[in-house]
Structure 1
Amino acid sequence: MKASILLSLAILGFMSHPTFSQTHPEEKLIQNLIQDSFDDLFSGFKSEKILDYYTEDFLLLEQGEVWDNKMILAYFDRTKQNPSPSIRTNRFDFIETKVTGNTAWIAYHNYATFSQNGEETQQLYWLESATAIKTKKGWRLDMLHSTRVRTQE
């Protein structure tokens, strides 16, 4: 009896360790927002979905340039005109996600693999951070900062 009580207390203590404690339930929503936005927008070029992921005043800080929704949509239009576009596959390693009330920030590694005709043509890697706000329609990104990381080849 005494041994089972000690074992139960040990298990509870182990599970309450920060490594095993539950994260904020909204953190996974923010991570999904990043994954889904890149899949739909920068892989699928689904212009009609931009406000499903971004606020109307969204800004993308990309390699020293400032892009707004209008510039992103123009980029999508130009890309859609390519008769044989590359296929982009996105993968993310999330560093940290913080949610406080109706605001959130996230830091992550963004890996993109490009392929054409079934053959990989390019791999790119960025270190990124983003902020999001919770709106009546759900979480939306209001800023994304992207820095290309050079890889050794």
Structure 2
Amino acid sequence: MGKIQKLIIFISLIISASTYAQDAPFKAVQDLFSAISQVNHSKMKAVVTADFQLLEDGEDWDMNDLINVIKPSNYVRKNYFNVVKTQSSGDFAWVSYWNKATFTKGELTKDVVWLESAVLIKDANKWKIQMLHSTKIKPEKLPKNIVLTEYKN
């Protein structure tokens, strides 16, 4: 293998490591919403810190408050995201993102959209959400240029 090929491989590895490092904090957010969709309270707790705070539609919640509203239902929830920005420094990160949940029950479908931000702390090499701030947006107010991608865990 020539020097140029080795250099190209090296640069590719650096770019993918950098992309992974930026995506890693947001994975905790995706995993929280996946656990919410599955109504899996243990998985929800696993991706947040002990002092987790959720600012939800004008209310201050902790994990127990969130768990109390996440109950089994006949609806199937799918989660869609668009990351606006990720910033990290050492064991601290924050992300801002668009979040859409599609709730389906038979022929009935309803979309709920939020603009959210999360503060994350690295705990034993794993990103955990310490604080999540959620602002509900009317689905028709979602900017037209935002492309949401479904998260499948």
Residues 113 and 120 of structure 1 are in contact (CA less than 8 Å); yes or no, is this contact kept in structure 2? no
Structure 2: distance between partners of 1:50 and 1:22: 27
* Counterpart for residue 133 of structure 2: 145
Which residues in structure 2 correspond to 1:82-121 (within 5 Å)? 82=73, 85-117=74-106, 119-121=107-109
Structure 2: distance between partners of 1:37 and 1:30: 12
Unpaired runs of at least 5, structure 1: 1-7
Structure 2: distance between partners of 1:51 and 1:152: 32
Give the count of matched residue pairs.
130
Structure 1 or 2, whichever has the larger Rg, is 1
Tell me the SS of whatever aligns to 2:140.
Answer: coil
Tell me the SS of whatever aligns to 1:71.
Answer: helix
1:67 corresponds to 2:61: yes
Residues 49 and 130 of structure 2 are in contact (CA less than 8 Å); yes or no, is this contact kept in structure 1? yes
Structure 1 runs, 4 residues or longer, greater than 4 Å off: none
The structural deviation recorded for 1:24 is: 5.8
Residues 111 and 139 of structure 2 are in contact (CA less than 8 Å); yes or no, is this contact kept in structure 1? no
Amino acid at match of 2:128: R
Structure 1: distance between partners of 2:20 and 2:140: 37
State the percentage of identical aligned residues: 33
The structural deviation recorded for 1:109 is: 0.2
1:36 pairs, out of 31, 37, 46, with 31
Structure 1: distance between partners of 2:102 and 2:139: 13
Structure 2: distance between partners of 1:25 and 1:49: 22
Deviations 1:66-95 (CA, angstroms, capped at 9, x unpaired) = 11011112222xx22x4xx21110010000
Amino acid at match of 1:27: Q
Structure 1: distance between partners of 2:32 and 2:140: 28
Per the normalisation by structure 1, the TM-score is 0.76
* Counterpart for residue 3 of structure 1: none
Unpaired runs of at least 5, structure 2: 142-153
Q: Give the CA RMSD over aligned residues.
A: 2.3
Structure 2: distance between partners of 1:21 and 1:86: 37
**Change over 3 Å in CA distance of 1:75–1:100 after alignment to 2:** same
